[in-house]
Amino acid sequence: MCLASSSNGARFVKRLACALATLESVSVRTYWGDDGFWVCPKTPGGFDVSVEFEGNRFVVATDTGSEYFGDAEPAIKHCVYSLTEVMRLQRTFRGNQVVRSELQTWNGTNWVSSVFTGRVFIPFWRRKHVENVQNNVLTVSQAEAAVADALQV
């Protein structure tokens, strides 16, 4: 589904925000921007997700950074599924500083990293620990319904 104009991209983003807002069991706060929105989980064990239409591409951002998509469908799926139990953010700390963040997807048997960011200068002398955070605000079936609503023509 290639985008013909910027108005189509903004339309998909707004449709996704509306589809998420119609789900009663979703405990997220949605903040509208010009051509995007941010989903902030109310639970302390989650992470923020945003989607925006910028020029001729979609930008989906989490704590690991931004991913760019030319088509609506993969961008919307990435945004929505990051609100389910099939995606998580794994943070590696040295002391109290995050030195690496990885966005991981459950493939049915184990977690697979897709995107990561890290620091160049790491305080290697500090104690290392790993923390996993997830946004369990949507079930997979709710996510599929939200994607279908957003992509309906």
What whole-number distance in Å separates Cα of residue 105 and Cα of residue 38?
A: 21
| DSSP helix, strand, coil percent of the chain (3-state; round to 5) | 25, 40, 35
Global pTM value = 0.80
**N- to C-terminal Cα distance for the chain?**
11
Distances (CA, A) of 59 to 9, 51, 77: 11, 6, 12
CA dist 45 and 134 (Å) reads: 6
Cα gap 78→53, rounded to integer Å? 14
pLDDT (0 to 100) of residue 12: 74
Inform me whether the pLDDT recorded for 41 exceeds 80: no
Mean pLDDT of the chain: 81
pLDDT the model gives residue 121: 87
What percentage of residues in the chain have a pLDDT greater than 90?
Answer: 24
Which one has a higher pLDDT value, 13 or 132? 132
- Is the pLDDT score of 69 beyond 70? yes
CA distances from 85 to 69, 123, 126 (A): 22, 31, 31
Confidence of residue 30 (pLDDT cuts 50, 70, 90): low
Residue pLDDT, tens place only, 80-124: 888 889 999 999 999 999 999 999 999 999 999 988 888 888 899
